[in-house]
């Protein structure tokens, strides 16, 4: 035994203590962690622990207006599904609709009112109270209104419908401002204008895909993001395999294959911008072959005389045989339907193209018939004026701002700095003394605001919607909060009501909350409703709408329609015009709204960033699609970084060799390229930056497919992040196919498309 002196003893005691401590901590770390059981202070009435509660409300992720049911547990939203009794979604929902949960629970949300402290664009904001923020805005509003300078107030919102739209109308009216605009990058201006020219009403009809047997789509990615993709998908599925006697067939005409092109039986690439000429070529064939026998037959013959099959084949690059075959099938397969949109509508001749598409429907007399095109009745709710700003209108707004005619600009959820090409919008904003944003996120436009009054997300707010287009009869839906607000934010409607109150407008706008305003509005629908509504009190009517999430009136429009002769005589599609000479800029740029990120507003949702692009499987980035032969000639391979230059700018992106795009066209998805929109969004490039300011002449809508570009290899390359291995089957027979005959008579009647939207 060694001698242990005092010092050794102290050392040993020290070692022992360390051991004891370590042993104690060791068990502490491997021990089952302590969990807590936190009870309610007062038990809530509407949910029980461990049992899911579902709320019916309305999706706001795109303009389709699907009814949704949100599953909540212990007061938190867990899952979004389609509302089975809602005629638009019928229980189904798209990827973007599901990802709405990540708008609510996004880590980059604005959590309270902010005031810009440094220079605009410096990104330095200080937190303020709601009172401070509201006072500052309301005082200026009151001052301008009192001086009769209300028109110096601008209100720029994303597209809104229902009572929120009406509230904005009321607010602008009381302020004395005529500058109330909605702006969405992908709003189908040309379609509204074409319907106005052809049918005499600037509204969207219902396209009955469900019952059609032959669909011609001119550029409209109806399964991807055109107008109402979930409802179109329901119709597509049913048309394909839901009927025992017939399988619907689909033809897609576009320069770059979209999701709808992949689903179609036949994909035809006409030269960009000549889709309308092709439509008239088909019309010519139908009329000249004697398949049209209406009283105005001679007018059509005259109007279409310049669109003989051979001429059209030459102009569009589509074979004469194909034109004849499609025209004959279109007229002989009843019912058939033609739709147009997307890139076909985004040219300098966009409206004319879509008028030509309407002409096809007219010639096969499918208007008002099942499987055709059905007029929608007046919306049941507040008929808001069409406030959608075209590109030209936005330029005028920018010009006004530069002239110093706008003193306050209130922004609501729209992001023109990101989605407006070469408009000098940022410079215009610099001339506006006070910019207020009601956005929930720090988007590129909000980053330039002086005061940010962040609004709730749609899952925390009251609202309502009257879907446009409807489904052939009147429907409306109320959206209700499904969770309590997460942060110190307020509902958009409540902010506007509060501003109105503080600006001294409470005589005309007396409501204290958006819920009251909506409820009062629905009282009108209740009072007017001739159906069964009068049997019950308004309160029980209101409760039943909240429970069902939707209200409908099965009144249909009279399908009768007479076409004005002048419309026939004026039918013509001029050739498309492009910016940039074809020598200096050999490629036509085909920018398309991303299926996953839409116009970029979904870029901050991690589920959407990680959702492979349906066609290329690329995630988390930008890319440029090039025809394989062209890529071969230019010696470009996947991942090669190239500079894409237009007369208006230059961006850099990696190449994706895309088998289904015309030579001479390159395509890029819109959606990436954010810089202030949060941790998931700030990546990639934004092709809107290099678009030319060319517009459709009739509407002033941006002709986003009318820019010519050139590409230069940079010599650098990156690895594209995408799923999957080889994009060819290599004989593995993974996706098997069969001829058309085999499927006849064996289609399954699935028992859940519960709602027939068109009288049969």
29-68: contacts with other proteins (CB under 8 A)? 31-32, 34-43, 48-51
Query: Other C-beta atoms within 10 Å of 642: how many?
Result: 23
CB 658 → other proteins: shortest distance, Å?
9
Quick check: 15 binds other proteins (CB under 8 A)? yes
In degrees and rounded to multiples of 5, residue 20 shows phi and psi of: -60, -45
Q: How far apart are CA 103 and CA 397, in angstroms?
A: 30
- Per-residue tokens: 238: 């049913």
In degrees and rounded to multiples of 5, residue 389 shows phi and psi of: -85, 130
CB 599 → other proteins: shortest distance, Å?
18
Type and span of the H or E element at 664: none
Residues 74-103 within binding reach of other proteins (CB under 8 A): 74, 76-82, 91-99, 101-102
Quick check: 115 binds other proteins (CB under 8 A)? no
Quick check: 245 binds other proteins (CB under 8 A)? no
Quick check: 21 binds other proteins (CB under 8 A)? yes
Residues 561-620 within binding reach of other proteins (CB under 8 A): 595-596, 606-608, 610-612, 614-615, 617, 619-620
Residues 533-572 within binding reach of other proteins (CB under 8 A): none
Rg (CA), the chain: 29
CB 573 → other proteins: shortest distance, Å?
22
Residues 411-450 within binding reach of other proteins (CB under 8 A): none
Q: How far apart are CA 101 and CA 98, in angstroms?
A: 7
CB-CB contact of 246 with 210 (8 Å):
no
Q: How far apart are CA 232 and CA 209, in angstroms?
A: 6
Full DSSP string of 170-230: HHHHHHT---EEE--TT--HHHHHHHHHHHS--SPPEE-TTT-SEEEEES--TTTTSS-HH
CB 192 → other proteins: shortest distance, Å?
25
Pairing of strands 373-374, 214-218: unpaired
- Per-residue tokens: 694: 């060319």
CB-CB contact of 496 with 171 (8 Å):
yes
Q: Which of 169, 173, 265, 431 binds other proteins (CB under 8 A)?
A: 265
Quick check: 342 binds other proteins (CB under 8 A)? no
Quick check: 243 binds other proteins (CB under 8 A)? no
SS3 state of residue 203 = coil
Quick check: 136 binds other proteins (CB under 8 A)? no
Cis check: omega of the bond before 34, within 30 degrees of 0: no
Q: How far are the Cα atoms of 132, 343, 677, 720 from residue 671, in angstroms, in the given order?
A: 35, 16, 12, 17
Quick check: 496 binds other proteins (CB under 8 A)? no
Residues 734-753 within binding reach of other proteins (CB under 8 A): 734-743, 746, 748, 750-753
- Per-residue tokens: 666: 């390159």
Quick check: 756 binds other proteins (CB under 8 A)? no
Compose the 700-739 pattern: x for residues touching other proteins by CB under 8 A, - for all others.
-------------------x-x-xx--xxx--x-xxxxxx
Largest CA distance in the chain: 124
Residues 649-688 within binding reach of other proteins (CB under 8 A): 659-663, 679, 683
CB 185 → other proteins: shortest distance, Å?
21
Quick check: 73 binds other proteins (CB under 8 A)? yes
Look at the chain and count its residues: 760
CB 252 → other proteins: shortest distance, Å?
12
Quick check: 263 binds other proteins (CB under 8 A)? yes
In degrees and rounded to multiples of 5, residue 326 shows phi and psi of: -65, -40
Quick check: 260 binds other proteins (CB under 8 A)? yes
Residue (407 or 625) nearer to other proteins, CB: 625
Residues sharing a CB contact under 8 Å with residue 62, sequence separation 6 or more, in sequence order: 96, 97, 225, 229, 598
Quick check: 233 binds other proteins (CB under 8 A)? yes
Residues 453-492 within binding reach of other proteins (CB under 8 A): 486
Interacting stretch for other proteins, rule CB under 8 A, among 181-189, 266-274, 514-522, 568-576?
Answer: 266-274
- Per-residue tokens: 149: 């300078």
Quick check: 146 binds other proteins (CB under 8 A)? no
């Amino acid at each position: 035994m060694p001698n242990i002196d005092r010092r050794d003893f102290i050392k040993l005691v020290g070692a022992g203590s360390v051991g004891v401590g370590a042993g104690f901590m060791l068990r502490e770390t491997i021990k089952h962690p302590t969990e807590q059981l936190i009870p309610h202070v007062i038990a809530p009435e509407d949910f029980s622990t461990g049992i899911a509660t579902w709320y019916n409300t309305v999706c706001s992720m795109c303009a389709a207006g699907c009814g949704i049911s949100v599953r909540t547990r212990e007061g938190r939203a867990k899952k979004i599904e389609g509302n089975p009794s809602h005629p638009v979604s019928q229980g189904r929902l798209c990827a973007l609709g599901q990802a709405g949960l990540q708008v609510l629970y996004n880590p980059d949300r604005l959590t309270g009112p902010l005031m810009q402290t440094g220079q605009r664009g410096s990104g330095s904001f200080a937190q303020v109270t709601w009172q401070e923020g509201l006072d500052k805005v309301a005082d200026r509003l009151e001052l301008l209104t009192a001086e009769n300078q209300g028109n110096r107030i601008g209100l720029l919102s994303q597209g809104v419908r229902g009572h929120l739209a009406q509230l904005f109308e009321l607010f602008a009216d009381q302020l004395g401002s005529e500058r109330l605009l909605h702006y969405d990058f992908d709003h189908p201006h040309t379609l509204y204008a074409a319907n106005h020219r052809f049918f005499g009403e600037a509204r969207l009809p219902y396209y009955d895909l469900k019952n059609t047997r032959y669909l011609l789509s001119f550029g409209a990615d109806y399964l991807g993001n055109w107008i109402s993709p979930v409802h179109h998908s329901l119709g597509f599925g049913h048309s394909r395999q839901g009927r025992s006697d017939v399988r619907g067939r689909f033809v897609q005409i576009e320069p770059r294959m979209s999701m709808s092109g992949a689903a179609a039986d036949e994909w035809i690439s006409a030269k960009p911008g000549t889709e309308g000429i092709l439509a008239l070529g088909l019309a010519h064939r139908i009329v000249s072959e004697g398949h049209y026998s209406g009283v105005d037959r001679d007018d059509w013959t005259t109007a279409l005389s310049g669109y003989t099959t051979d001429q059209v084949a030459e102009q569009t690059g589509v074979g004469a045989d194909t034109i004849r075959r499609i025209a004959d099938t279109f007229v002989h397969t009843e019912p058939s339907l033609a739709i147009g949109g997307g890139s076909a509508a985004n040219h300098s001749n966009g409206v004319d193209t879509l008028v030509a598409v309407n002409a096809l429907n007219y010639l096969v007399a499918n208007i008002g018939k099942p499987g055709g095109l059905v007029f929608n009745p007046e919306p049941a709710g507040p008929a808001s004026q069409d406030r959608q700003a075209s590109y030209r209108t936005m330029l005028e707004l920018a010009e006004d701002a530069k002239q110093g005619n706008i003193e306050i600009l209130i922004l609501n959820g729209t992001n023109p700095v990101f989605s407006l090409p070469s408009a000098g919008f940022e410079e215009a904003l610099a001339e506006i003394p006070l910019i207020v944003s009601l956005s929930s996120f720090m988007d590129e436009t909000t980053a330039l605001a002086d005061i940010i009054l962040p609004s709730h997300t749609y899952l925390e707010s009251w609202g309502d919607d009257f879907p446009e287009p409807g489904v052939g009869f009147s429907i409306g839906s109320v959206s209700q909060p499904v969770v309590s607000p997460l942060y110190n934010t307020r509902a958009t409607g409540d902010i506007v009501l509060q501003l109105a109150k503080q600006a001294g407008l409470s005589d005309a706008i007396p409501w204290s909350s958006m819920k009251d305003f909506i409820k009062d509005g629905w009282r009108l629908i209740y009072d007017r409703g001739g159906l069964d509504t009068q049997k019950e009190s308004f309160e029980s009517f209101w409760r039943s709408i909240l429970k069902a999430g939707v209200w409908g009136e099965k009144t249909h429009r009279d399908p009768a329609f007479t076409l004005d002769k002048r419309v026939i005589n004026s039918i013509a599609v001029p050739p498309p015009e492009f910016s940039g000479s074809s020598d200096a800029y050999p490629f036509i740029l085909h920018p398309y709204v991303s299926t996953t990120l839409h116009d970029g507003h979904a870029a901050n949702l991690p589920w959407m960033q990680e959702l492979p692009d349906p066609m290329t499987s690329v995630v988390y980035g930008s890319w440029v699609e090039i025809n394989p032969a062209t890529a071969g000639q230019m010696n470009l391979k996947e991942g090669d970084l190239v500079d894409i230059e237009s007369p208006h700018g230059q961006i850099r992106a990696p190449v994706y060799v895309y088998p289904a795009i015309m030579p001479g066209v390159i395509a890029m998805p819109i959606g990436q390229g954010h810089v202030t929109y949060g941790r998931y969004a700030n990546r990639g490039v934004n092709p809107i930056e290099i678009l030319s300011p060319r517009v459709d002449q009739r509407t002033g809508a941006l002709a986003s497919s009318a820019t010519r570009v050139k590409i230069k290899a940079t010599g650098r390359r990156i690895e594209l992040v995408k799923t999957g291995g080889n994009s060819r089957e290599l004989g593995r027979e993974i996706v098997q196919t069969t001829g058309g005959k085999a499927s006849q008579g064996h289609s399954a009647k699935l028992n859940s498309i519960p709602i027939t939207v068109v009288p049969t």
